[in-house]
């Protein structure tokens, strides 16, 4: 048996759904004003269908709802009767066709229109079909149900067949119960306020265990971790962590929360702790027999959180070059390593799927500069404006006599920035330098803001080729990198 509860216009859907859940765990929402209940097994708790309908109506009235209730052997019959008749209607199982015989055809268009927003296959306007049936002289559900099914299918198609089944009180699909909204959240009210991260760590561990178990039961992972600390000052200290991958390991979640709180500690003692997560479907991991396994997202997240707590916000991640002529310009982005399978997607069984021309490009020799993170100060002997000898105190870069050179390539920029312009000044194109000058820089060059320098590629007597440059405003020389 099924019950349809049809509320008056202006009723709150959440209140109506709450009334239905008080009676049955299997509830389907048909619209903002209508719910269906599966009454199987409820007679032992509430009595016969008439008693159940009376209790439903009384409970709805206590919560300020005016409802129509219909109970029948099929969901379709219960819906049609609830839409047509006020009060309580009860139809015994097997008598649905007789009870629906005199109902108007407009009810089919009404319930079809209400289902249209939830039905992705709905393409035709139900009112058009209703007009066609009325032109045939049909007025009631019994008239449509009495037509030969084959003739209805030939003239009206699949939609006409579905309407005829509804007119007979047949269900097009089984009941789909609406799942209650799950909250993945744990809270703990403390008997005594705690001050400090060490006691908070034990509280978080106590909360993360049941939260992780809940995620495990539902096959979900945490996409965002929320930690809300209610302080004794009646304020709330809230932190949210965007996790790089869905995870549900309690120890990892606690470690990430503690590392974040170390960088952003609460300003007062804590008397209530709440942890919650935004759930997402769990990960499906497929390991490869051909590539080395990468560290798990939990390990990477913990490592990055520890580095961030040690170095500070914005100082850890992946260095990404920016569209700028400034030497050494880059930005820090979140560390997100590429999937190893994506790197090998162009190969299958050791056979390359690239075109032959791409193979030639991939196998051709390349010239690259191995840049030093901080350019190395150097002592340079200049002869007629050209570097003749280069020396450095850095181990492994002793230097030597310049055997071949190319340059200079002058680059400048950032002079339009006010701070850089005052600190460095504009380039002096006509300036004359004294020959045989030997200068050594004591500090690394300024690579942010304005710059003005001459670059050279030199091959020394030690057999290596270096990229060196001279800062024109300080006349200091630096070794920027090694040419491979």
Query: Could you give the 3-state DSSP secondary structure of residue 378?
Result: strand
Task: Tell me how far apart the alpha carbons of residues 81 and 71 are, in angstroms, rounded to a whole number.
Answer: 8
Q: Is residue 323 part of a domain?
A: no
Q: Is residue 326 part of a domain?
A: no
Q: Do 157 and 90 share a structural domain? A: yes
pLDDT per position as a tens digit, 423-472: 333 333 333 333 344 444 444 555 455 788 899 999 988 888 899 999 98
| Per-residue pLDDT at 239 | 92
Q: Do 191 and 137 share a structural domain? A: no
Residue 170's contacts (CB-CB under 8 Å, 6 or more residues apart) are 74, 76
**Better pLDDT: 313 or 466:** 466
pLDDT per position as a tens digit, 155-164: 988 888 998 8
Write the DSSP symbol of residue 104: B
| Per-residue pLDDT at 237 | 93
CA atoms in the 13 A half-sphere facing the CB of 276: 11
Q: Is residue 96 part of a domain?
A: yes
Q: Write out the H or E segment, with its range, that includes residue 275.
A: strand 270-281
Q: Is residue 391 part of a domain?
A: yes
Q: Do 110 and 225 share a structural domain? A: no
List the CATH number of the domain containing 151: 3.30.70.270
Domains identified in the chain, total number: 3
- Residue 284 — very low, low, confident or very high, per pLDDT cuts 50/70/90? low
Q: Do 195 and 152 share a structural domain? A: no
Q: Do 155 and 32 share a structural domain? A: yes
pLDDT per position as a tens digit, 377-399: 998 988 888 899 998 888 877 78
Q: Do 190 and 163 share a structural domain? A: no
Query: Could you give the 3-state DSSP secondary structure of residue 380?
Result: strand
- From 221, 246, 281, the end of a domain falls on 281
Q: Is residue 161 part of a domain?
A: yes
Task: Tell me how far apart the alpha carbons of residues 167 and 159 are, in angstroms, rounded to a whole number.
Answer: 12
- Residue 295 — very low, low, confident or very high, per pLDDT cuts 50/70/90? low
Q: Do 84 and 48 share a structural domain? A: yes
Q: Do 265 and 120 share a structural domain? A: no
Task: Tell me how far apart the alpha carbons of residues 81 and 366 are, in angstroms, rounded to a whole number.
Answer: 79
Q: Is residue 335 part of a domain?
A: no
Q: Do 205 and 137 share a structural domain? A: no
* Domain interval for residue 247: 185-281
**Better pLDDT: 269 or 14:** 269
The pTM for the full model equals 0.47
- The residue with tokens 């504009």 is 426
């Amino acid at each position: 048996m099924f019950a349809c509860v049809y509320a008056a216009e202006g009723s709150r859907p959440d209140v109506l759904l709450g009334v239905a859940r008080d009676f049955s765990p299997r509830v389907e929402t048909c619209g903002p004003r209508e719910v269906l209940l599966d009454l199987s097994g409820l007679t032992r708790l509430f009595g016969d269908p008439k008693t159940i309908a009376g209790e439903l109506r009384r409970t709805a009235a206590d919560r300020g709802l005016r409802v129509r209730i219909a109970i029948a052997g099929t969901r379709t019959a219960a819906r049609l009767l609830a839409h047509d008749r006020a009060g309580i209607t009860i139809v015994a199982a097997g008598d649905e066709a007789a009870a629906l015989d005199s109902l108007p055809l407009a009810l089919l268009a009404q319930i079809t229109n209400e289902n249209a927003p939830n039905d992705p296959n709905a393409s035709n306007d139900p009112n058009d079909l209703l007009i066609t049936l009325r032109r045939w002289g049909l007025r009631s559900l019994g008239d449509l149900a009495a037509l030969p099914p084959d003739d209805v299918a030939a003239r009206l198609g699949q939609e006409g067949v579905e309407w005829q089944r509804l007119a007979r009180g047949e269900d097009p699909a089984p009941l789909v119960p609406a799942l209650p909204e799950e909250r993945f959240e744990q809270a703990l009210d403390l008997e005594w306020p705690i001050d400090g991260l060490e006691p908070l760590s034990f509280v978080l561990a106590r909360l993360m265990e049941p939260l992780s178990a809940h995620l495990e039961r539902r096959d979900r992972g945490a996409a965002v971790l929320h930690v809300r600390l209610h302080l004794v000052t009646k304020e709330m200290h809230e932190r949210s962590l965007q996790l790089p991958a869905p995870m549900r390991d309690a120890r990892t979640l606690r470690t990430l929360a503690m590392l974040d709180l170390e960088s952003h500690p609460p300003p007062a003692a804590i008397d209530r702790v709440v942890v919650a997560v935004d759930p997402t479907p769990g990960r499906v991991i497929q390991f490869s027999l051909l590539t080395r396994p990468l560290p798990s997202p939990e390990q990477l997240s913990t490592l990055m959180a520890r580095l961030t707590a040690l170095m500070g916000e914005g100082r850890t991640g992946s260095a990404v070059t920016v569209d700028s002529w400034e030497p050494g310009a880059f930005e820090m982005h979140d560390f997100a390593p590429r999937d190893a399978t994506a790197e090998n997607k162009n190969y299958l069984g050791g056979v390359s799927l690239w075109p032959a021309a791409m193979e030639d490009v991939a196998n051709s020799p390349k010239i690259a500069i191995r840049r030093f993170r901080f350019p190395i100060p150097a002592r340079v002997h200049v002869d007629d404006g050209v570097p003749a000898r280069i020396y450095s105190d850095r181990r492994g870069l002793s230097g030597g006599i310049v055997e071949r050179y190319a340059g200079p390539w002058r680059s400048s920029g950032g002079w339009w920035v006010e701070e850089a312009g005052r600190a460095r000044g504009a380039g002096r194109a006509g300036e004359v330098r004294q020959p045989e000058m030997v200068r050594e820089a004591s500090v690394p060059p300024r690579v942010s803001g304005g710059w003005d320098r001459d670059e050279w590629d030199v091959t020394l007597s030690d057999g290596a080729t270096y990229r060196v440059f001279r800062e024109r405003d300080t006349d200091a020389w630096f070794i920027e990198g090694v040419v491979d």
